Structure 1
Amino acid sequence: MATALHRETHETLSDPSDIIGLVGFERSAAGLFVGRDDEADLLARRLGVDAGDDPDSTGFVLLSGDAGIGKTRILAEVAGRARAAGWAVLTGHCLGEAGQALPYLPFIEVLGRLEGSSPELLDRVLTAHPGLSRLVPSRRHEPNPDDPADDVVDRGDLVEAVHAALDDLAADTPLLLVVEDVHWADQSSRDLLTLLFTRGFSRRVSIVASYRSDDLHRRHPLRTTLAHWARLGDVERVDLAPLPDHAVRELVRGLQSGLHAQPLAEAQVREVVERAEGNAFFTEELVAATALGGTGLAEDLSRLLLVRFDQLDTSGQHVVRVASAAGRHVSHRLLAAVAGLGDAELDSGLRDAVERHVLVPTDSGGYAFRHALLGETVYDDLLPGERVRAHERYAAALADDRTLGTWAELARHAGAAGLREQAREASVQAGDSALRMAGPEEAFRHFKNALALMPESDPEVDSVTLRAAAAATAVGRAVKALELLEERLRRRAPGADPVGRAELLAAVSTTARITESTLDTLAATKEGLGLLDAEDPDDLRTAQARARLLGARVQALVDRGRDEEAARAAAEAVSVARAAGLPDVADEVEVVEARVIERVGDPESSRAALERIIGNGAPTGDPAQVRAFHHLGSLHHRAGRLDDAVEVYQRGAEAGARAGRPWAPYAFDARLLAGIAAYEAGRWDDADRILDATSQDPPQPAEALLTAARLCLAAGRGEGGFVAALDSTRPWWDEEGLVAVLAVGAAIDLYGHQDDLPGALLVHDEGVESLTRIWHRHFQAQTRLSALVLGQLATHVGRASSAERAQLLARGVDAAEAAEAVWARVSEMPGQHGPEAQAWIARARAEALRLRWLGGEAVDAAELSEAWRVTVAAFEDYGHRYELARSRARLGAALQAAGDPAASDVLQAALETARELGAEPLRAEIRQAGGRASAGQRPADRLGEALTPREQEILALVALGRSNRQIGTQLFISAKTASVHVSNIIAKLGVTGRGEAVAVARDRGLLD
């Protein structure tokens, strides 16, 4: 019996969606099971499937949830667990509309499937309980036409037979009965379930019945039955809430793998998560539609969502149509003003919509669509004329009574109704309101819409452009802000207001310096100040334009290294700004002035000035305060106080986020630099957390910067699959140089770790070309890139042929010369040759020697070791733990080759850091260099006792085709000594020559 039941239930649950019903839309989301582990555990425990300490436990459970929320999928999961635990599972479904007239439908299905899978088992059940034959159409006898009583079913006998049959089926194995969609159950089926719940069983029988909670309007027949079941002590309820956002994201990823389309972009994933509202079915449909290039709802989803709307009466449908034009939410007052219904008819329509779970009341005294997708569907179903008229009525009501809604609502409705002038004015007001509410993203959108509606002759164009640019900058879109400002300057009439042009020049100068623009900001400020010479200096607008231009001029002077001139100009700028009522501009200038103080050699005074600005009582998130945090963090960072830098940077980033400007200049920069400083300090998990913004939809180039910074972590850990991430940063190399610096530096190592030296060299060359184009020939970061590429050349040169070695050595000379040229330039610039810069030039010099050494050139052992000691000391001073460990590993290799007994301790220190960080490529390098392996043994122990460590080193070089002279040069021994070692190796292995020695060594596992 158990075997037959297991076979029957497997077939029953193999595709439950084929019998869901005419208007059903519960699905299993392509078989994925995400975000429901806790609920599945709870359901299994209450049903006795997960018996715990009570092996004989059973249970009766009512499972509720909205349509599409995942009831069928969780039931399939629990059923699977039950079968795995030795239970038999029987499943029946209730059907909508078409099945209403057929009583006992779910039990007919159970027996029908049992007949198909195990007819002999059904025969035994029917023999024991002949009353069940009425529920098996193929076994039902034809009634005697001469005996009217022959076709009469005794209901009591029938339900008793079902109860007894379930009890008997559980005689050999526990039984789980699943009844789905009881919101569609007929009265007979509901009564039968009531009997089963009330009477219970003598054997282990558990029952779970599911229903849609959003289908139960006030007059639904199941409501009374549920109230009765709730009073039964043995019946428990489990309600499925919407999936959390992280689970929907996981579901989206799983669904994408089954689609033959490009993976969804992060912005698309975010939109799906937002629109699906935790509903698994909605998620599935939205992913399918989006992956196939659709922008609206899938036709099946739209049709099924409208089923609930079609059940409303006339007034209910009218109210819902009007509400759909308002969006997700609408206040009662506004809806009443627009609907055009009397109070009684409006209340009737709203009551119907609420009872049918189309609308739900909100705490604010209005209404919202229970599912936003339903509102979208109803709106999309409106005729074009209906939409325009609805928006016109909303715009008129909002304009007539400003207490009914926001400027943003008025702007939207006026725009949708084609009322351009009203939409323009409302958009400007909405943008100003959003800025006051710390919503720069919304402000930028409103100002941009206003500009699209403004004629060139509008006197407010300059002002709105300035506000739009400020909002764009605040959300991290400085490039777009600069485009708006430069476009406005080009299109202004020659004789237009000079003060307006001066204001635009001040803004464009300030904005250009936070992009890779080639604009001459000093010339722009000079032009702007010249325009104001003929204006009334006592006019407030003129005075404020002058203050902003003077502030921008100070920054332009600093950018050009004219620090003394900048310091003199700063005093005037601060004085003019405070007199003009612009304390924020004055504070910004003082922050820049503090940076100058640091550069001229007084970091402590700079630090004190920045801390004073941070604590001067300015509002939290004030741009000057955030910039001060950024500069103070940079001061710590440049001095190698990495943990202090992380803390201060994070305070600046958090201040910007609290002000609603997480992507604004300096706020985002502080976050990025906090992640980089945490990476350098060896706090890789912290860095990962700080830099991970995948769920925040960052703007560009912020997203590219974060991706590039995380590539550094991937390089350290030796992760693969990086090419897609690297390629996503490429479009921004020419727009934001730091993207290229971070991405290229990481990619050199990532390609190198995969033994793809050509890839490492190519990405280096591409990056240098890009950075030279947007910066200059000898940019400072080139030292770092040169050092990294020299390191990869050295690592790979030992495996190259003689001809290839010559090419790699020549390439190394070029890289070393580039690093030295940069250092010659940087060392003459104040404030530009701190601990980090000194560490990287030391590294480049040491790597150049290492390349020559491993490439077979004569290199003095003492010189090589000393170069690496200097490098280790420099990175130790700076605090970069990973590069310190990598430098120690290479120092250890040099010491080991020179026979220095200190090599072991140096390598061990490097290995401990590599283990702690999870730096797998570095661990492999240390093992190869002869350090202790992860089990605490040297590779010598692993390779065998026949050869000494020196002989093992020499054997590895023999395998690479090195001559005795080349071996001697690389290991700092004579060619004669190398020859003696080779002879000893040949003798110990019992072979006759070098080639045979290599073959035997590989066969015995003595060579990797």
Structure 2
Amino acid sequence: MMEDVVVLGAMKTPLVGRGDELAQLMALAGVGSDPTPAAVVLGGEAGVGKTRLLHELGHRAEEAGWQVLIGHCLDFGESALSYLPFSEMFGRLGAARPEVLAALTRSTPAITRLQPGQRLLGAQGDEGEPASGTLEQQVIGGRGSDQDGVGLGRGDIFEGTHAALEQLAERAPVLVIVEDAHWADRSTCDILSSLFARGFQHPVSIVVSYRSDDLHRRHPLRARVTEWARMSRVSRVNLSHLPDRDVRTLVRAAHGASRPGQALSEREVQEIVRRAEGNAFFAEELLGAHELDHGDLPADLADLLLVRLDRLDEQARGVVRAAAAAGRRVAHDLLASVGGLSDGALNDALRAAVEANILVPWGDSSYAFRHALLAEAVYDDLLPGERTRLHAAYVSALVGGRGNGSAAELARHARAAQDRETALVASIEAGDDAMKVGGPEEAARHYQTALELLADPALADHADTSVVHLTRRASEALIDAGHPQRAAALLRDSLAAHGPDLADDDRAKLLLVLARAAMFGDDPSVNPLDLTTTALDLVGPDARPLRAHTLAVHARANVDRSRFAEGVTFAQQALTLAEELGLERTAVDAATTLGRLNEVLGDPEESLRVLSDVLEQARAAGDTAAETRALHQLGGTLMEMGRITQARGYYRQSMDLSERRSRPWAPYGADARILSGVAAYMVGDWDEVDLVTDTSHEVPPPLMASLLASIRLQVAAGRGDPSGLATLEATRTEWLADGWLAINVGGAAIDLYGDADRLEEAERAYQDVVSTVTAAWQVPAFQAQVRLSTLLLGQLASAASRLGAGGRADLLRRGDELLTVGEKTAQRRSVVGRDVGPEGRAWGQRMGAEHLRLRWLAGQDVPQQDLRRAWEETVQAFEVLEHPFEVARSQSRLAAVLRAQGEQAAAHELTAAARETAERLGALPLLAELATVDRGATPSSDDQAGPVLTPREREVLALVAEGRTNGQIARQLFISTKTVSVHVSNILAKLGASGRTEAAALARRQGLLD
């Protein structure tokens, strides 16, 4: 860096999402290896990031040895000081390096008049007398300049500035940055025009920024920018809005800097991103408001936005205020109806608002606020009476047909205008519209608003509205949106509120929806079978369609409580009655339940056949909800059969269909997404797990987010990712709030704690999961308990060799208890009439093998042939299941047995196969276990040749050697950043490198890079 560089101050926020723009700006400004003179005019709306980009450009230029001069134009209105940015530049140069400025003024005396000290009131003239005339006259040679020879002409200023910059550039390249030229006085614009037209011999680059949204039709800079763009030496750049993903990154980075250790939720981030609309300054202001615990616009931002409104005349302000009451956009006919102006007056007002860049034309017949926050600021500035009057006018226009609008718009205006009856009808219609277009979350809000309005005694007897029907619709929308717990709460409140006055059929309808919500929501306080049993008793003999539906839901509730024979009986009754009555959806529902029960009761092939028929029926009828469920159930049947790869395909179809229906968090589609992640984990496609479970650009319901994260946690446990333990401990209360979530996290928790030699915590995690699930599902045991018991047995066995005799005795006792629990759980499956599938057989076999291993490593007398056979059968069982990670873990433990029995070659063959899987998956704990098993063995020639990298690790290493970051590698290879991090850790460990640079050097030396 040159010694006379004016050092730029630090910026508090990072430069995000502007890499391409920065590269373009550096190239156009000639800031590079071969500095060249250049001129660039940079436009962009207020807050979009021009200053931040120019700051980074200045830093890059300083690092490249350039001298950076920065000047700003200020909003002084008619009192703007001539040449202000150049006075600032030379003033800063004089303060930083007075000797440099002194040399310039000696050779170019004209710039003396641009120095700040010469421009103050009362400053001395050249002969020690007060300078005469106005500041403008002093500088450019106004009154008396020709008479006394003291003043300077404009040409002298222009020539002196040009010469000074050329002289500076002889020392080192010069970058001149002039910010906010939309506030520039005429003289500053003139000198810029002169410098652009004349150019430079030495490397002097000038970059001028301005707010494009301030350049209304009559703004003086508008013509200047057009003039400059025609010059061959000048390049023009417009800075667009940041993409949402970059605003998200900016918000998280800024929040991390101001609130270290306090993470924002994705919902909070998304709301800020939505409101900011790609404007970096707005995003930071909104973040600041959020951190101060209020969601209103910050006062300084609101004031900034309202400055434009204040510049309009009263008539135009009135039109803008009326538009703000409409929201972000408004149709011309609606605005005409509400504004109360003649056509000519309205057009004049709209033209003024458009020229002021407050409104912009939208399509052929509408207007929109240039930014949503501008609409918010104007609306917030309205007086209460103004708001009510405007909203009432919109209601009148929409109801009277004088403008077009949606039911949601009418409902909003009616509520704000205190027109409750209109708001009620419009809210229900808005909910129906949202459900038709796949917006259950929005529909639920509209329906719940309608229910709140119905609570008004004046509307309680509204003839066209049934509270029961509306409650069911709201609850079903909440279930489809992924909020079954909220639906259950709404239904319980409604049942309690109506008490004994509710008709039997209406009560049954509410109980059936509550039962569905309870089955999907895992609420231990509600037994869905009790609810459907009561509903069945309530349905009268004449309500046959309702009875068919009740039987279908009752069948599902029986299956939910493992009453499979009863489930068959009631599903068959529902199917028969539905077919008799021509109730196609109810018939498909019951047939799907029967189809899945075939697998449960031991005939999986028949289950596949029936469910395939149901799937075709649903598709033929266009019933996408039934199709989603049928796909999900087909995946479940295949999963139980151990055909995991095929199951993944059906789960993916179910998940994709749910997303196409705009119901990604509806029960079966969301469930299919989770199970798709589970299946990907089982077949060893761990990179796919990261992709399927990634919700960084979504706002899932909290339980769904936790369930998807639980699958990622299993991968973290398998890979030994140290962040897994931190995640586990930070979310402990969350994962103990739901049975399925607890099971998913439980296996990962046992391995994470056990691999970290925290055995007591592994056991506590196991006990917590068992307590949570048995309470939530109201069962004495559950099938996944076999797997969890087995995993814990494995950790006890691994710990046995590290403990003394007393510790081993305690481990044996605990191991015996786990074996007993696991065996009883496995037996319970047959008691309820369910066959054990490949997965159950594999874990049951592994449970016995781990128990024998525990006894063996604890020094007990174990028949070696029994031990060997148990592990051989375990390996085979997981091979049948096609679960490569558990195959490899089982191979490692069988190899340990074989090595102890002296069969070194067979053991080495097993560890080699297991190591290949572990390296492909990045399973560091398994690699460590294999190293222990192999300790003392004679390595093969292949082992001595150097570290063995998997194909994926070679890809990652090649990109590391190119200097790519983890994020860049992830995007290029279509995997997650976390996966790249694990691969890089594996590579460093295998190469024995301390960092990425050393790893690249070692790889080149060993010929590992092509």
CA offsets per residue over residues 153-180 of structure 1, 9 Å max, x none?
Answer: 1111210111122122112322221111
Residue number among 763, 766, 777 corresponding to 2:765 in the alignment? 763
- Quote the offset at 1:349 in angstroms: 2.1
Gaps of 5+ in 1: 16-27, 943-1008
Q: Is the 8 A contact 1:306 1:377 kept in 2?
A: yes
| Equivalence for 1:127 | 106
In the alignment, the residues of structure 1 paired with residue 472 and residue 810 of structure 2 have an alpha-carbon distance, to the nearest angstrom, of 55
Does residue 311 of structure 2 align to residue 311 of structure 1? yes
Q: Give CA-to-partner distance per residue, 1:949-996, whole Å, 9 cap, x none.
A: xxxxxxxxxxxxxxxxxxxxxxxxxxxxxxxxxxxxxxxxxxxxxxxx
Measured after TM superposition, the shift of residue 440 of structure 1 is 1.2
**Contact 1:476 / 1:700 at 8 angstroms: preserved in 2?**
no
Partner of 1:350: 350
Name the CA shift for 1:864/1:171 in 2 (closer, same or farther; >3 Å): same
Give the aligned partner of residue 872 of structure 2: 869
Counterpart code for 2:749: A
Q: 2:964 is matched with which residue?
A: none
Aligned to 1:752: 754
Structure 2 partner of 1:384? 384
| 8 Å Cα contact 2:867/2:897 also seen in 1 | yes
What is residue 32 of structure 1 aligned with on the other side?
14
Distance 1:104 1:270 in 2: 43
Does the residue aligned with 1:275 lie in a helix, a strand or coil?
helix
What is the one-letter code of the residue matched to 1:33? L
* Distance (Å, rounded) in 1 between the aligned partners of 2:873 and 2:473: 52
C-alpha displacement of 1:460: 0.7
**1:46 aligns to 2:28 (yes or no):** yes
Q: After TM superposition, give the deviation of residue 86 of structure 1 in Å.
A: 2.4
Q: Does 1:924 align with 2:952?
A: no
Identity %: 43
Is the partner of 2:360 in helix, strand or coil? strand
Cα offset for 1:212? 0.8
Distance 2:937 2:448 in 1: 61
Q: In 2, distance between residues paired with 1:457 and 1:843?
A: 65
Question: Which is worse superposed, 611-620 or 318-327?
Answer: 611-620
| CA distance in 2: counterparts of 1:829 and 1:892, whole angstroms | 37
Letter in 1 for 2:644: L
Partners of 1:107 and 1:918 lie apart in 2 by 59
The structure-2 alpha-carbon separation of the partners of 1:934 and 1:490, relative to structure 1 and needing over 3 Å to count, comes to farther
- Quote the residue 1:80 is aligned against: 59
Q: For 1:103, what is the secondary structure of its paired residue?
A: coil
Q: Using the TM superposition, give the Cα deviation of residue 631 of structure 1 relative to its aligned residue in structure 2, in angstroms.
A: 0.8
Partner of 1:498: 504
CA 509–925 in structure 1, closer or farther in 2 if over 3 Å, else same: same
Aligned-partner SS, 1:31 = coil
Q: Are the structure 2 counterparts of residues 175 and 797 from structure 1 closer, same or farther at C-alpha, using a change threshold of 3 Å?
A: same
SS of the residue 1:598 aligns to: helix
Tell me, in whole angstroms, the C-alpha distance in 2 between the residues paired with 1:58 and 1:580: 85
Q: Which moved more, 1:55-64 or 1:287-296?
A: 55-64
Deviates more, 1:497-506 or 1:468-477: 497-506
Q: 1: distance between equivalents of 2:171 and 2:510?
A: 86
- Equivalence for 2:331: 331
Letter in 1 for 2:800: V
Cα distance in 2 for residues equivalent to 1:485 and 1:750: 40
Question: How has the CA–CA distance of structure 1 residues 60 and 49 changed in structure 2, closer, same or farther, with 3 Å as cutoff?
Answer: same
- 2-structure distance, mates of 1:64, 1:688: 40
Q: What is the alpha-carbon distance in structure 2 between the residues aligned to residue 543 and residue 188 of structure 1?
A: 88
2:992 match: none
* 1:551 is the counterpart of 2:552: yes
Measured in 2, the distance between the counterparts of 1:841 and 1:548 equals 39
Are residues 164 and 337 of structure 1, via their aligned partners in 2, closer, same or farther at CA, if it must alter by over 3 Å? same
What is the alpha-carbon distance in structure 1 between the residues aligned to residue 474 and residue 943 of structure 2?
A: 64
2:742 counterpart residue number: 740
Contact 2:443 2:474 in 1 (8 A): yes
Q: Given residue 907 of structure 2, which amino acid in structure 1 is its aligned partner?
A: A
Q: Could you tell me which amino acid in structure 1 is paired with residue 508 of structure 2?
A: A
User: Which deviates more, 367-376 or 826-835?
Assistant: 826-835
Among 469, 485, 493, the alignment partner of 2:491 is 485
Q: Is the 8 A contact 1:49 1:58 kept in 2?
A: no
Q: What CA deviation, in whole Å up to 9, does each residue of 1:378-418 have, x standing for no partner?
A: 22222222222222222222222285211111111222222
C-alpha distance in 1 between matches for 2:644 and 2:175: 60
**Amino acid in the other structure paired with 1:515:** G
Higher mean C-alpha displacement, 197-206 vs 519-528: 519-528
Q: Residue 724 of structure 1: CA displacement? A: 5.8
| Greater shift in the superposed pair: 749-758 or 585-594 | 749-758
Q: Encode CA deviations 1:299-327: one digit per residue, 9 max, x unaligned.
A: 22222222222222212221222222222
> Pick from 692, 695, 712: which aligns with 2:694?
692
Hey, what does 1:287 align to over in structure 2?
A: 287
Separation (CA, whole Å) in 1 of partners of 2:381 and 2:392: 18
In the alignment, residue 299 of structure 2 is paired with which amino acid? E
Displacement, 1:143?
4.4
Cα distance in structure 2, aligned partners of 1:173 and 1:734: 65
Summarize the Cα distance change of 1:770–1:364 in structure 2 as closer, same or farther, 3 Å threshold.
Answer: farther
Structure 1, 784-793 or 252-261: larger mean CA deviation: 252-261
Q: Report whether the alignment pairs 1:597 with 2:580.
A: no
Cα distance, 1:631–1:375 mapped onto 2, change above 3 Å: same
Cα shift readout 1:66-99 (whole Å, capped 9, x = no counterpart): 1111111111212222222222222111111169
Given that 2:736 and 2:769 are in contact with CA atoms closer than 8 Å, whether structure 1 keeps it comes out as: no
Aligned counterpart, 1:633: 635
Range with bigger deviation, 352-361 or 139-148 = 139-148
Q: TM-score, normalised by structure 1?
A: 0.87
Amino acid at match of 2:504: P
What whole-Å deviation, never above 9, does each CA across 1:652-680 have from its counterpart, x for those lacking one? 11111111111111111111101110111
1:528 is matched with 535
Q: Residue type of the partner of 2:885?
A: Y
Tell me the secondary structure at the aligned position of residue 208 of structure 1.
strand
Q: How does 1:776-795 map to 2 (within 5 A)?
A: 776-795=779-798
Per-residue Cα deviation, 1:792-828 (whole angstroms, up to 9, x for no partner):
2222233334433333332222222211111121244
* Residues 783, 844 of structure 1: 8 Å contact kept: yes
Matches within 5 A, 1:139-150: 142-143=125-126, 148-150=147-149
Q: How far apart, in 1, do the equivalents of 2:101 and 2:475 lie?
A: 77
Q: What is the 5 A alignment of 1:837-876?
A: 837-876=840-879
State the TM-score, normalized to the length of structure 2.
0.86
1:111 to 90, 95, 100: 90
In structure 1, what is the Cα distance between the partners aligned to 2:727 and 2:349?
53
1:340 deviates by 2.2
Distance 1:777 1:496, change over 3 A: closer
- Give the C-alpha shift of residue 605 in structure 1: 2.5
What is the count of residue pairs matched by the alignment? 915
1:333-732 equivalent positions in 2, closer than 5 A: 333-363=333-363, 365-401=365-401, 404-455=404-455, 460-517=466-523, 519-534=526-541, 537=542, 542-616=543-617, 617-618=619-620, 622-722=624-724, 725-726=727-728, 729-731=731-733
- CA change 1:668–1:354 in 2 (3 A) is same
C-alpha deviation, 1:578, in angstroms: 4.3
1:59 to 38, 44, 51: 38
Across the aligned residues of Structure 1 and Structure 2, the Cα RMSD in angstroms comes to 2.6
Residues of 1 paired with 2:48 and 2:927: CA distance?
47
What is the one-letter code of the residue matched to 1:406?
Answer: S
Look up the equivalent residue of 1:422 and give its one-letter code.
Answer: T
TM-aligned CA distance change 1:244 to 1:832, over 3 Å:
farther
Supply the AA of the counterpart residue of 2:9: S
Partners of 2:180 and 2:204 in 1: CA distance: 20
- Residue pair 2:829, 2:836 contacting (<8 A) in 1 also: yes
